[in-house]
Structure 1
Amino acid sequence: MKILAIEASTEALSAALFDSAQPDGTAEVFEIAPRAHAQRLLPAAQQLLDQAGLGLADLDGLAFARGPGAFTGLRIAAGLVQGLAAGAGLPVVGISTLAVVAARALDQIPEAGRVQVVQDARMGEIYTATFARADLPVSDDVERVMAPADLEVATGSDTIRAGNGWALVVESQALAEQTVYVEAPHAADVARLAWPMLRDGQGRPAAEALPVYVRDDVARKPGGSR
């Protein structure tokens, strides 16, 4: 099964080409490119297809990081995947950005059983959820947005931390520095998490490739009503 995956939830962007026959050989283009997602994502995806000698018709599905994350990046990724999937008649899977970060962190630390992910939501807030290794990509709790001072920091011995928002938690709660294993999501992990879902027929039509913002009102002031 061949899957093209797109990720644009943060200042980083990435595209990955996954083949279930060689799951450890996933090809990925990854860049830190603020405000360049619209210009760079499609060329990155095309580069991977060209290098593999494949076209969209050779794929079995598309996957993308559905959020939460930067509103503009999420819309760009969803729009790109919608267009490609509609044109090629391919199924789509959206994966939580927080789960994508969690998966990479748990890969790095085999002895960890859970990971608490905290991503910078801007406007003085964070996105957060906790994931158990056995349940990925499903979260232990609801993805939510909150002030970093309100986060209940997990203290279990088998729980690690990941995400680019931990510095906000450390500062707001006057904590000791925390060991954070992964900050940026990667499209390679989007594809890896999407594979079992596409394999099991859980792909959705192109029109259902929609972002999940968690915080819907980007224009509100921090501390305002949700």
Structure 2
Amino acid sequence: MPLPASPSLLPCVLALDTATERLAVALQAPGGPWHLDAEGGAAASATLLPQVKSLLAQAGLGWQGLQHIAYGQGPGAFTGLRTACAVAQGLAYGLHLRLLPIDSLLIVAEDARGQSDVVADESWAVAVAMDARMDEIYGALYHWQAGCWQVLRAPALYTLPAWQAVCLAQPVQAVAGSAWAAFGERLRRPEGTDAWLHESSRAAALLRLAVQAAARGEGSDPAEALPLYLRDKVAQTTAEREAVRAAAGVPAPSP
């Protein structure tokens, strides 16, 4: 559903995401919105709560003023997903609020839409591919129409050839995400597509999705909060790493 026209009609929402190397915190409140995009990665667990408190202070808002808490559910970095989920879950328990889990790849799609000239009533399909390391991709397909997002293909873990086949089978107008630049010529963009390879403001895109979810009346019990990992195994053996290098035509390092 489209967002209400007046900021005063929007629900008060705190949104957090640490699924990537960037930390995103955003707040919708009277006088806002407020957005913060900062370095994340290994530091996210130590800096997330201080950044949240800073944003609340800027808004002149106390914890009790919050109505909804949203978090980037994943897929993404293993430790990062746990950080945002745990902080959001703890706050929701303490404040007796429901949680809004947000698809972390949809955040990338929404950021790309924000950078483009796509209007509310336009039909626009985008392929989101994020570098999942280990020569794999987190990929998903989304369709923007009538002011809303639809999921054409839910987030999943792909090899490069498998993802290439998905993109060729489903017509899209744009691609977005870190994988297109990370894999270079090994990952060909569908012909005629626009490319949004760098995010403008992950926090702003996250907040737009969170406010929309809150306005639709969505929400889940904090006890049900779980990250979306997609990968149980987070490291490769030496033999597996060598097999990946060989398949890519990369010589093994010198002893």
Residues 51-91 of structure 1: per-residue CA shift (max 9 Å, x gap): 11111210110001100000100000000000111001111
Alignment pair present for 1:11 and 2:18: no
Give the number of the structure with larger relative contact order, counting CA–CA contacts within 8 Å between residues 6 or more apart: 1
- CA pair 10-126 structure 1, distance change in 2 beyond 3 A: same
- For residues 38-117 of structure 1, what are the structure 2 equivalents within 5 Å? 38-111=45-118, 113-117=124-128
DSSP-derived class of the 2:154 partner: coil
Alignment pair present for 1:200 and 2:208: no
Residues 65-123 of structure 1: per-residue CA shift (max 9 Å, x gap): 10000010000000000011100111111111110000110122234711110001111
Tell me the equivalent position of 1:217: 233
Alignment pair present for 1:128 and 2:139: yes
**Does structure 2 conserve the Cα–Cα contact (< 8 Å) formed by 1:117 and 1:162?**
yes
DSSP-derived class of the 1:36 partner: helix
Tell me the equivalent position of 1:183: 198
Tell me the equivalent position of 2:173: 159
Aligned positions, number: 221
Matched-pair identity in %: 34
Select between 5-14 and 211-220 the one with higher mean Cα deviation.
211-220
Distance across 2 between alignment mates of 1:131 and 1:175? 16
Alpha-carbon shift at residue 18 of structure 1 (Å): 1.5
Corresponding letter in the other structure for 1:38 = S
- Structure of larger gyration radius: 2
Distance across 2 between alignment mates of 1:212 and 1:132? 21
DSSP-derived class of the 2:196 partner: coil
Distance across 2 between alignment mates of 1:95 and 1:3? 13
Query: Structure 2: any 5+ residue segments left out of the alignment?
Result: 1-10, 244-255
Alpha-carbon shift at residue 48 of structure 1 (Å): 0.4
TM-score, normalised on structure 1?
0.86
**Does structure 2 conserve the Cα–Cα contact (< 8 Å) formed by 1:115 and 1:159?**
yes
**Does structure 1 conserve the Cα–Cα contact (< 8 Å) formed by 2:25 and 2:52?**
yes
Query: Structure 1: any 5+ residue segments left out of the alignment?
Result: none
TM-score, normalised on structure 2?
0.77
Two-structure CA RMSD over aligned residues (Å): 2.8
Corresponding letter in the other structure for 1:27 = W
- CA pair 167-56 structure 1, distance change in 2 beyond 3 A: same
- CA pair 216-76 structure 1, distance change in 2 beyond 3 A: same
DSSP-derived class of the 1:215 partner: coil
Distance across 1 between alignment mates of 2:198 and 2:154? 20
